[in-house]
Amino acid sequence: MTDAALPAALPLDPRDPVALTAALIRCPSVTPEEGGALVLLEAVLTAAGFACTRVDRNGVPNLFARWGARGHARSFGFNGHTDVVPVGNPADWSCDPFGAEIRDGRIWGRGAADMKSGVAAFVAAALDFVRDTPPDGAVILTITGDEEGPSRDGTLALLDWMATNDEAMSHCLVGEPTCPSEMGEMMKIGRRGSMTGYFTARGVQGHSAYPHRAKNPVSAMARLMDRLASHELDQGTDHFDASTLAVTTIDTGNPANNVIPASCKATVNIRFNDRHSGANLSDWLAAEAARVQAETGVAISVDCSISGESFVTPPGLLSDLVAAAVQAETNRVPELSTSGGTSDARFIKTHCPVVEFGLVGKTMHQVDEHVEVAHIHQLKGIYARILREYFA
């Protein structure tokens, strides 16, 4: 790539990760809106010689970009997203949520941490790399607009398209923010599984003064929720903390204090490690519901939604490569962690080995979201070092 290859009207140097972060923040890409973010990235990458394809599905915007030959034996991939969560009340912000203001050594705006800075860093690193050291292999970028949404037509759509078009990544790094407080302190080699159970208890309505004439779904639901919340799922595994179950709501919608309602609903959320599967946990929830139903005579049904299974990329070539680059650029050896919520790595793990490393995520999804400008430059340096070492 040469400077002359960039569009004349491009208002920034895309190899500057802070300038590119700012340009992306100014795109109001609240999920599922594209907001101009992927249009900008496609223009930048096309000008640099990447073969770009929009892989939109069901109205969800996605971008695939490859530098190098298709089907090459060595292909390093980056994955990220440009969609962001809503800003909430703009009046609560000290700045324009889409203004990308730089002050106090930080850049402010929705998506600054999660994760337009990460996308900007790996795009800028890739642009430099293919210009300065054209690799014997392929560099692939998969960028979605559906990570903060339902995630049905984002990275999954990109992987489906790749499977039918003879495109593949040998290894992949997801640029999500992974560091709790300090740059370089943590990377993710896996994630817990996540699922939600929705319970409905149906009893018989009656007067609270005559409880024997009714079947109280609230009492039955309270018994069931206590059993679920009190149960120890496990004590953790080699790479994971103990699995957790949280009761998130119990609802009846009953405005009367002297009426036993006819129905009650409750919800639990489970974050589980590699000792479990979503299917096995679903069976357990159904069995516990059936047990309480038999004890109380109150019919209890459960509907389970599995967001993702647990997975781990065992420590080895990929994690060593990333950890060495992080240490070289930050003087910190990152902890190999599986903590936190879900990410699109849960989809990529069936395609190729995958790990995650990105910025400090303390302010993601918060009012006045921001990251340190110096950390964005540092992240580009880490990603650039990873590319150099991978193709060395």
Indicate the SS3 state at residue 157: helix
Kindly report the number of other CB atoms within 10 A of residue 45's CB atom.
24
* 293 CB-contact burial (10 Å; exposed 0-12 / middle 13-18 / buried 19+): middle
Indicate the SS3 state at residue 95: coil
Between strands 354-356 and 171-174, the pairing is parallel
Kindly report the number of other CB atoms within 10 A of residue 291's CB atom.
14
Indicate the SS3 state at residue 21: helix
Which residues, 6 or more positions from 126, have their beta carbon under 8 angstroms from its beta carbon?
Answer: 50, 67, 78, 139, 141, 383, 387
Distance separating alpha carbons of residues 364 and 384, to the nearest angstrom: 24
Q: Can you tell me which residue has the tokens 């090459």?
A: 72
According to DSSP, the residues that pair with 103 across neighbouring strands are 106
According to DSSP, the residues that pair with 202 across neighbouring strands are 263, 299
Known catalytic residues?
Answer: 83, 147
